[in-house]
Structure 1
Amino acid sequence: MTSAVHSKPAILLVHGAWHGAWCWEKLVPELTALGWRVATVDLPSASADPDNTAGMYDDALAVRACLDGIEGPVTVLAHSYGGLPATEAAVGVPKVSRLVYLSAFQLEEGDSLAGQSGGQLPSGDSGTLPAPDDPYTYFYADAAQEDADRAAERLVLQTVKSVSEPLTAAAWKTVASSYIVCEKDAVLPPVLQEAMAARADRSYRLPSSHSPFLSMPAELARLITADAHR
């Protein structure tokens, strides 16, 4: 790899529950065009296997393994549930220069997704959760129908264990962080996002539903890039 490539900023994209690295397919070329080196990760807790028992800590190990393979300072952008393994994985990793939470869970150590759900999510070491019955409304309300259809067809199961395991540390307390509030989000109400965004060093807003990487990838890529240049 040449020094010219090394001079480009690096970003690792961490997807949310029920999704996979495929969800970034419209955002990756936008970031690449703006000069980023882009890496993605498939979290093991999201799988079509109903017997899957991978948890949040397994996801964090997968994120950490990806970070180990990236040279230079790295921005980690996490979406939704992905905020937990990203927060866990970035602890004590000097090369992580910034955490970006995209309508993501920016939580305190000791917190889990199940613990934050008010009893709406089960907890335990086994079992899986299906995606919402209406992913169009929850995830892709402002995406093009073709993109929404393609994404909905690829959703998989999410393990109960992943939403049950609590953070052991919170990387955002030692790593600079930004939060992007999605103003039309039906999964994480903006008021909840804003409460978590108060933990970040700075925050931004997009007039999008839960998945701006599908509905407005160019705008999202420009925002990520502008934030990195501040």
Structure 2
Amino acid sequence: MSRHFVLVHGACHGAWCWYKVIADLKQAGHKVTALDLAACGIDGRQVEDLHSSIVEYSEPLLTFMDSLPPPPPASDEKKVVLVGHSLAGPSLCIAMERFPEKISVAVFVAANMLGPDLTYKMADQKYAELSPTADPMDSEVIYGNGPNEPPTAFLPGPKYLEKHTYRCSPSQDLELGITLVRPSPAWDAGKAAQETVLTMDRYGTVARAYVVCDEEQDGAFQWWVVENNPPDEHFVVPGSDHMVMFSQPCLLSQYLLELGSKYI
């Protein structure tokens, strides 16, 4: 049975980063939609237009999900397989809360997987505790509200990407990333918590899978998420850095295809 995969990129990236996985899924006979979130990829907005709002950042995904027709009664054939990488985690959670009837399974790839009992504040605090402090190196921290206010965005530099994000990925993909990354927004924690309130009656009805990247420097946080908000299943991708769609695209595609066949 042909499935519809909806792919959502992580911080600083865009729909372009899924090109290998898109090709694999389409070759297997499935429909694929890869989205640019607000101020990402070729989206015309700028990071300062988002007002530190995850909902505004997620608008392209939410608009797309709203446009999908509801599945026919007693049929799951029209439900999508929703896949999100890294910073897309909260965006997926919001989509699950708003459109649970349209999603067969949500796949969190090295992502922040919130839940009714795992709030944005809890995850944010634990990430700061467990994740290694990354040297910003040649990156740019953007203070859009002035130098005495919290940062509003972050733009990774080439050396940072090579050391922290694309450590196991082909050099060609690193160069692609260097060329195409855009600033990633920094969320206001209070607003983010309000925008990501989740319920068991809606979010909790959607099956969840989690992909752990075993060469990821933030691996401890990924395992903490799996242990504290257990998904229906999880999968460890050997030899994968943060950009698993570049470092191990075939393994990731294979797992997504298996999920597409299992959760219908």
Normalized against structure 2, the TM-score is what?
Answer: 0.74
Residues 68 and 197 from structure 1, CA distance in 2 versus in 1: closer, same or farther, beyond 3 angstroms?
A: same
- Residue matched to 1:4: none
1:97 maps onto 2:104 in alignment: yes
5 Å-filtered alignment, 1:51-90, equals 51-54=48-51, 55-70=53-68, 72-90=78-96
Distance 2:2 2:260 in 1: 12
In the alignment, is the contact (CA less than 8 A) between 1:103 and 1:179 conserved in 2?
yes
Extract unaligned runs of 5+ from structure 2: 70-77, 134-140, 144-148
Output aligned runs, 1:25-36, within 5 Å: 25-36=19-30
How big is each residue's C-alpha offset from its partner over 1:130-170, in whole Å with a ceiling of 9 and x where there is no partner?
22651112221111111111112211101223776121226
Helix, strand or coil: the match of 2:22? helix
Match in the other structure for 2:114: 107
- What aligned pairs does 1:166-177 form with structure 2 within 5 A after superposition? 166=193, 167-169=196-198, 172-177=203-208
Deviation at 1:219, TM superposition (A): 1.8
Kept after mapping to 1: 8 A contact 2:9/2:15: yes
Q: Tell me the equivalent position of 2:9.
A: 15
Residue 135 of structure 1 corresponds to which residue in structure 2? Answer: 161
Q: Is the 8 A contact 2:13 2:180 kept in 1?
A: yes
Which range moved further: 194-203 or 14-23? Answer: 194-203
- 1:145-156 matches, within 5 Å, as 145-156=171-182
Q: Compared with structure 1, are the counterparts of its residues 98 and 51 closer, same or farther at alpha carbon in structure 2 (3 Å cutoff)?
A: same
Equivalent pairs: percent with the same residue? 20
Out of 111, 123, 144, the position equivalent to 2:170 is 144
Aligned length: 222
Residue 146 (structure 2) aligns with: none
Letter in 1 for 2:120: D
Contact 1:125–1:161, Cα closer than 8 Å, also in 2 = no
Distance 1:56 1:162, change over 3 A: farther
Q: 1:200 aligns with which of 217, 220, 231?
A: 231
Of 245, 248, 252, 1:213 maps to 245
CA root-mean-square deviation: 2.8
Partners of 1:50 and 1:76 in 2: CA distance: 24
CA-CA distance at 1:60 after TM superposition: 2.9
**Does the 8 Å CA contact 2:237/2:248 hold for their aligned counterparts?**
no
Letter in 2 for 1:204: F
Q: What is the rounded CA distance, in whole Å, between the counterparts of 1:129 and 1:142 in structure 2?
A: 22
How far apart in 2 are the matches of 1:169 and 1:53? 22
Instruction: Deviation per CA, 1:13-55: give whole Å up to 9, x if none.
Output: 1111111111111110111112221011111154784633352
Q: Distance in 2 between matches of 1:162 and 1:81?
A: 14
Deviation per residue, 1:75-118 (Å, 9 max, x gap): 10010010111111121410111000111111235415654543
Q: Decide whether the 8 Å contact of 1:142 with 1:215 is kept in 2.
A: yes
Moved over 6 A (4+): 119-122
Distance 2:68 2:188 in 1: 25
Tell me the amino acid that sits aligned with residue 87 of structure 1: C
Structure number, greater radius of gyration: 2
Instruction: Say if 2:127 and 2:221, in contact at 8 Å, map to a contact too.
Output: no
Structure in which a larger fraction of residues adopt helix: 2
Cα distance in 2 for partners of 1:116, 1:45 equals: 27
Match of 1:118 in 2: 128
Describe the shift of the 1:99–1:83 C-alpha distance in structure 2 as closer, same or farther (beyond 3 A). Answer: same
Paired with 1:194 and 1:161, the residues of 2 have a C-alpha distance of 23
